[in-house]
Amino acid sequence: MAAQAAAFVFFPAIVLGIVIGLLELIFVHSDEPGMGWFKHGLHAIPTMLFLLLISFNIGAASQMVGYPLQESFWLNIGVRVLLGIIATVKVKAAAAIAGKASSFGEKFGHAVVIGALIAAAPYVWIYVEPMLPAYLKF
């Protein structure tokens, strides 16, 4: 029996990636005023897009790296929680890598909100998609 190719989902990941990336830019601006916040936060959108592409496509992403996983509810939850933790650590580490003092950087609450949104994005999309106009439903 041949292995099925998993369908890759792009549109929800792109839409929510841009929204969450812009939210992270807003958080960076409020937490790091006058510190080159735009350059510091510019990596937010591509990073969110990458994490959300994995979150929306767990089966396809695992096949791409050569470790096809049998998807289940708990596996999906576990991978998405792990992606949320990775996003939270990335947000907090971005200021540290830039060499900022420990009193600067994004607030922990803001980092947790970003991580939680990454983890919950596929479940949030179920409620967002019906509100989109017909020409935006792919």
HEC secondary structure over 41-83: HCCHHHHHHHHHHHHHCHHHHHHHCCCCCCCCHHHHHHHHHHH
Q: Is residue 63 part of a domain?
A: yes
> Measuring CA to CA, which residue among 124, 122, 59, 54 is closest to residue 82?
54
Tokens 């949104």, residue located: 117
Q: Is residue 4 part of a domain?
A: no
How far apart CA 89 and CA 30 sit, in angstroms, is: 19
Q: Which two tokens stand for residue 8?
A: 């890759």
Q: Is residue 24 part of a domain?
A: yes
Q: Please indicate whether residue 115 or residue 29 has the higher confidence score (pLDDT).
A: 115
State mean pLDDT over 43-52. Answer: 86
State yes or no: pLDDT of 17 exceeds 80. Answer: yes
What are the pLDDT digits (tens) for 88-104? Answer: 888 888 766 655 544 55
Instruction: Please tell me the pTM assigned to this model.
Output: 0.80
Q: Report the domain count for the chain.
A: 1
pLDDT at position 133 is: 85
Q: Is residue 3 part of a domain?
A: no
Q: Is residue 60 part of a domain?
A: yes
